[in-house]
């Protein structure tokens, strides 16, 4: 899990095991290899994500770091707090949903920055997208731009004039465009998991399942994970 590879990685990818991060992994692999995948075990109820992330990392021959960080210690999200139910998409409404995990992408990017700096990787990748972003503030491009500047100021590499690039190649795409792109670059979409609930199969009704189904439908494709 934490075995060191000899070669300097070309990139560090935040890999959840979901559709978006897997397509992002495929795009990072196209940019260069080897990759380091960073997967967060943050106490999410949908534990199956973690198995899928390992399978995707293995698919690309990437080293995987599973970073444990128990966000359920401080709560505040339906994804980590068992006392808050994951709502159906029809009940989500507008505004920031209860599945928002406080500062999640800020924390993920910060840890990925530490990994990238320790391993001297030139870029880190995060598969967020703003259009179908479900109302999460930390999926917006202005957040990513600001983060990159903060990371430049925080790091030795930044001081040395070699800041780590923060790449979010999906940020302006719709879910159907992500599906199409994923199929084009042969991302292993059959391995991915999107459902917020912890059941043995995707529930089909949570926000994440509904967004995913809509993406495949609009792309005119069948979801290979539902085979």
| Closest to 1 (Cα-Cα) out of 58, 81, 76, 69 | 58
Q: φ, ψ for residue 184 (rounded to 5)? A: -60, -40
> Rounded to whole angstroms, how far apart are CA atoms 189 and 204?
17
Instruction: Give dist(CA 187, CA 19) in Å, integer.
Output: 9
* Per-residue x/- track, 9-28, a second copy (CB under 8 A): --------------------
Alpha-helical runs (H) found in the chain: 19-31, 48-59, 104-119, 141-154, 156-159, 175-184, 207-219
The verdict on 107 binding a second copy (CB under 8 A) reads yes
Q: Which of 32, 137, 199, 224 binds a second copy (CB under 8 A)?
A: 137
| 150 is a site residue for a second copy (CB under 8 A) | yes
Among 32, 61, 82, 102, binds a second copy (CB under 8 A): 102
Should residue 59 be labelled a site residue for a second copy when binding is judged by CB under 8 A? no
Stretch binding a second copy (CB under 8 A), from 135-143, 171-179, 192-200, 217-225 = 135-143
149 binds a second copy (CB under 8 A): yes
Least distance in angstroms from the C-beta of 152 to a second copy: 8
């Amino acid at each position: 899990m934490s075995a060191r590879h000899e070669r300097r990685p070309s990139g560090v990818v935040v890999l959840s095991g979901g559709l978006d991060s897997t397509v992002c992994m495929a795009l990072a692999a196209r940019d260069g290899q080897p990759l380091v995948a960073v997967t967060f075990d943050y106490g999410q109820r949908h534990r199956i994500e973690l198995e899928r992330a390992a399978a995707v990392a293995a698919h690309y021959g990437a080293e995987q770091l599973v970073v444990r960080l128990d966000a359920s210690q401080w709560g505040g999200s339906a994804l980590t707090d068992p006392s808050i139910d994951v709502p159906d998409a029809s009940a989500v409404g507008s505004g920031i949903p209860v599945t928002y995990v406080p500062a999640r992408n800020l924390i993920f990017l910060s840890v990925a920055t530490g990994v990238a700096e320790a391993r001297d990787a030139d870029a880190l990748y995060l598969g967020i997208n703003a259009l179908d972003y479900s109302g999460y503030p930390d999926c917006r491009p202005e957040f990513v731009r600001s983060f990159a500047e903060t990371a430049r100021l925080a790091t030795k590499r930044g001081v040395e004039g070699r800041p780590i690039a923060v790449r979010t190649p999906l940020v302006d795409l719709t879910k159907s465009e992500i599906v199409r792109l994923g199929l084009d670059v042969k991302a292993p979409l059959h391995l991915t998991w999107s459902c917020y609930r912890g059941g043995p199969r995707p529930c089909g009704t949570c926000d994440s399942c509904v967004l995913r189904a809509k993406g495949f439908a609009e792309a005119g494709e069948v979801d290979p994970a539902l085979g």
